[in-house]
């Protein structure tokens, strides 16, 4: 029987059974003996100095084991580099409990460790802290004059600064037949995965630790913990098999990991530290960003001038940057451009990548500006995009490795019924509601990074593949298993993918939509390497018919190897290993991207979103009644899980455009809606008809799989399409996200 190819097949999530039965264990759910529980105390001032921490009442409570703060912390290194993780922006990483300085509101300042969770939590409220407060600044809009260029660092490699100006923007803009200028305001957002950040540290003795951590990078946390606490890498094992959502929040080791490990090492005990929901607002966030655009076009709709500037907040200690303004000229080949990105350091924690960082911010400004131009020009919004379609990336003067955005427009429009649209705003009504439709382009980088994987096959013919990578709900386990099955030519049930463990081969942090491409390519490479070894063993077998053939002459299929020309001439993997005295055959591969080749191309996934909104004319209530997103992301390994990724991105787009925002009281310097009751993410009742199309796209350049990743691209185009649809419905262009219904009254 021939085994069907797994790549391209809608395989159900392999961990599905564990997740629907409650058997999937997350970092805070490992039952270890003698576990102590930690509860964190946070600063209630925004800037200044701790004068005194009075722990007496807390210590007096029965069951309190220890209280840690900067006063009694472990001796720590003072070199910044020792705290730098894989995702650290240029600057000085935050060092928990380092000294008495308060850098932001909510900064962790003490940890209570007790016999029970409840005791630790109560004791934490009994700690009295006195401060010397200093003036602080948290409001971006009040400090735009302080904006400066970001510092460069390793992060700039993945997040390039804006390309330099082309042509003469000011002249071209002034000469343009039509112009649109807009200001776009984005507030702060927090990732708020549903699982709270938590770490369980198992103290193994002899300087050895096993750490269950909520993270997007087991290797990243391993290196961080080893560096900070002066341990051997091999003695720190980070496990993260199930991650209850992360969306970027787990790209950097969070402070509960540091605190939990410190307490465990000091007390030589097993310790768990879990953040509460309010504490989930005390580390990275999507930064406040204020953008300005000025686009000019000829009367026939050719965009000739693009000016896009962004000013974003960062912390006082790190220069966190995003790619916000680089996209417009990748999408639209205007000859005159002026792109600028600046930062304002404020008294907040460092911002952090949050699903489609920068892209979802910048595309709103770009696509709303294009939309506005289309109404001025009286050209259909999609037609304007097609008129300005970039066959080549003029911003970098490179070809695209592949680009099926045009098909996204056409197929998306077809499915949505875009052609039936009335062009004038405020022309369609249903009962009390105005109906509008809008669309947007989307683009997201394809990033290539090195990654390692190991593959082995045993006497039962079972393939095991390993990588330290996590699965944050993206479907990584399933997708890697599919890739491994096809790479070796084996039934998917005979494949085990092991992951989420820093003892396994090094993987980059899971983010940027690159995991499938990066780790998948490593898995494929490891299996290819394993094939070679299997082939060699097969050649050595008695009476082997493979003696005289080359690797190219054989096919690996159905758990066996056969001659390309003669299927009946085969040997099973089991037979080969039996001949190898039953010993496993193993292979390992460090897959390093061909940077020289990749550099010749602009590599990006694309999308087009089409959205219908209904707006209650009297009350302003907006509903996204239906939406279609068409995606060109190269080879789709698993259409089912990939569709879910896009749907998730679309719902994030609804949330970004209409729902979520962290509210800061700038008088107090403090986020105030730090709970899921007042930080509004969409509920089921907010989500209506959503549809996804994957457009065929072949790409031989980007990686071995031709796969571009789908984690962010669904979000990139969704939020601007909603804003554009609201304009079409109401005639009001609201450039501030989220668009609350009261802005439409």
With beta carbons less than 8 A apart as the criterion, state whether 64 and 123 touch.
Answer: yes
Minimum CB distance to other proteins, residue 571 (Å): 36
Task: Give the Cβ contact number of residue 218 at 10 Å.
Answer: 29
Q: Helices (H), strands (E): how many in the chain? A: 17, 31
Nearer to other proteins, 15 or 697 (CB): 15
- Between CA 445 and CA 447 the distance in angstroms is 6
DSSP, res 132: E
Minimum CB distance to other proteins, residue 301 (Å): 35
With beta carbons less than 8 A apart as the criterion, state whether 267 and 261 touch.
Answer: no
| Distance (Å) of CA 38 to CA 99, 176, 272, 676 | 20, 62, 6, 23
- Between CA 100 and CA 43 the distance in angstroms is 11
Nearer to other proteins, 196 or 713 (CB): 196
The H or E element spanning position 328 is helix 328-331
What length is written for the chain?
745
With beta carbons less than 8 A apart as the criterion, state whether 113 and 120 touch.
Answer: yes
Minimum CB distance to other proteins, residue 225 (Å): 24
Minimum CB distance to other proteins, residue 679 (Å): 9
- Between CA 645 and CA 714 the distance in angstroms is 7
Nearer to other proteins, 598 or 668 (CB): 668
With beta carbons less than 8 A apart as the criterion, state whether 710 and 631 touch.
Answer: yes
Minimum CB distance to other proteins, residue 30 (Å): 9
- As given in the structure block, the two tokens for residue 117 are 């969770």
- Between CA 158 and CA 19 the distance in angstroms is 34
Minimum CB distance to other proteins, residue 687 (Å): 4
Over the Cα atoms of the chain, what is R_g? 27
Nearer to other proteins, 449 or 650 (CB): 650
- Between CA 88 and CA 352 the distance in angstroms is 9
Nearer to other proteins, 250 or 489 (CB): 250
Minimum CB distance to other proteins, residue 272 (Å): 10
Minimum CB distance to other proteins, residue 25 (Å): 7
Nearer to other proteins, 550 or 683 (CB): 683
Minimum CB distance to other proteins, residue 19 (Å): 3
Task: Give the Cβ contact number of residue 467 at 10 Å.
Answer: 29
Nearer to other proteins, 103 or 715 (CB): 715
Nearer to other proteins, 73 or 643 (CB): 643
Furthest-apart CA pair in the chain: how many Å? 85
The H or E element spanning position 256 is helix 255-267
In which residue are the tokens 């395989």 written? Answer: 11
Nearer to other proteins, 332 or 652 (CB): 652
Minimum CB distance to other proteins, residue 62 (Å): 7
Question: 693: helix, coil or strand?
Answer: strand
Nearer to other proteins, 89 or 520 (CB): 520
């Amino acid at each position: 029987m021939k085994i069907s190819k797994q790549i391209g097949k809608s395989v159900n999530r392999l961990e599905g059974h564990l997740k629907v039965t409650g058997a999937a264990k997350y970092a805070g759910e490992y039952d270890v003996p003698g576990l102590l529980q930690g509860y964190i105390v946070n600063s209630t001032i925004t800037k200044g100095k701790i004068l005194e921490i009075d722990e007496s009442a807390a210590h007096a409570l029965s069951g309190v084991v220890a209280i840690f703060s900067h006063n009694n912390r472990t001796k720590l290194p003072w070199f910044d580099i020792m705290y730098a993780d894989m995702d650290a922006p240029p600057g000085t990483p935050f060092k928990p409990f380092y000294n008495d300085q308060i850098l932001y509101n909510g900064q962790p300042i003490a940890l209570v460790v007790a016999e029970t969770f409840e005791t630790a939590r109560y004791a934490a409220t009994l700690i009295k802290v006195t401060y010397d407060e200093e003036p602080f600044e948290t409001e971006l809009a009040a400090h735009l004059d302080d904006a400066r260029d970001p510092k460069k660092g390793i992060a700039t490699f993945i997040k390039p600064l804006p390309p330099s100006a082309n042509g003469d923007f000011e002249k071209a803009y002034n000469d343009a037949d039509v112009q649109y200028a807009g200001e776009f305001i984005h507030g702060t957002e927090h990732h708020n995965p549903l699982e709270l950040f938590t770490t369980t540290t198992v103290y193994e003795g002899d300087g050895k630790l096993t750490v269950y951590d909520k993270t997007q990078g087991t290797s990243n946390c391993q290196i961080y913990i080893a560096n900070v606490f002066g341990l051997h890498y091999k003695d720190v094992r980070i496990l993260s098999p199930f991650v209850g959502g992360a969306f970027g929040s787990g790209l950097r080791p969070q402070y509960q990991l540091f605190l939990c490990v410190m307490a465990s090492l000091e007390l030589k005990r097993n310790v768990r530290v879990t953040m509460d929901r309010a504490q989930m607002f005390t580390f990275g966030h999507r930064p406040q960003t204020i953008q300005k655009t000025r686009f000019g076009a000829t009367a026939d709709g050719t965009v000739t001038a693009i000016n896009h500037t962004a000013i974003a907040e960062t912390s006082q200690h790190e220069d966190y940057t995003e790619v916000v303004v680089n996209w417009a000229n990748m999408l639209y080949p205007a000859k005159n451009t002026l792109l600028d990105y600046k930062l304002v350091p404020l008294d907040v924690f460092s911002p952090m990548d949050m699903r489609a960082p920068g892209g979802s911010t910048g595309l709103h400004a770009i696509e709303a500006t294009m939309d506005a131009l289309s109404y001025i020009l009286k050209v259909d919004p999609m037609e304007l995009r097609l008129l300005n379609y970039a066959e080549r990336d003029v911003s970098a003067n490179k070809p695209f490795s592949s680009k099926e955005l045009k098909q996204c427009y056409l197929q998306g429009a077809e499915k949505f019924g875009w052609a039936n649209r009335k062009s004038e705003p405020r022309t369609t009504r249903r009962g009390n509601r105005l109906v509008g439709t809008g669309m947007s382009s989307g683009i997201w980088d394809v990033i290539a990074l090195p990654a390692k994987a190991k593959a082995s096959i045993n006497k039962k013919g079972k393939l095991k593949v390993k990588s330290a990578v996590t699965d944050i709900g993206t479907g990584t386990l399933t997708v890697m298993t599919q890739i491994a099955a096809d790479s070796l030519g084996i039934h998917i049930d005979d494949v085990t993918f092991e992951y989420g463990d820093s003892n396994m081969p090094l993987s980059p942090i899971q983010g940027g939509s690159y995991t499938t491409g990066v780790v998948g390519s490593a898995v494929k490479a490891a299996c290819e390497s394993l094939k070679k070894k299997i082939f060699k063993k097969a050649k050595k077998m008695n009476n082997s018919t493979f003696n005289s053939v080359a690797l190219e002459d054989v096919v690996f299929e159905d758990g066996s190897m056969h001659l390309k020309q003669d299927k009946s001439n085969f040997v099973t993997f089991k037979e080969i290993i039996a001949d190898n005295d039953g010993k496993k055959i193993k292979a390992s591969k460090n897959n390093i991207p061909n940077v020289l080749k990749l550099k010749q191309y602009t590599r990006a996934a694309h999308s087009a979103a089409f959205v219908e909104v209904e707006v209650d004319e009297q009350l302003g209530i907006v509903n996204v009644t239906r939406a279609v997103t068409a995606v060109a992301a190269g080879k789709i390994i698993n259409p089912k899980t990939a569709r879910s990724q896009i749907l998730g991105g679309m719902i994030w787009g609804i949330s970004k455009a209409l729902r979520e925002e962290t509210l800061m009281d700038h008088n107090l310097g403090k986020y105030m809606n730090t709970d899921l009751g007042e930080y509004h993410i969409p509920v089921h009742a907010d989500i209506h008809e959503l549809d996804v199309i994957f457009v065929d796209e072949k790409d031989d350049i980007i990686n071995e799989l031709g796969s571009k990743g789908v984690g962010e691209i669904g979000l990139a185009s969704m939020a601007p399409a909603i804003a554009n649809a609201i304009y079409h419905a109401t005639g009001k262009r609201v450039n501030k996200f989220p668009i609350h219904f009261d802005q439409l009254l």
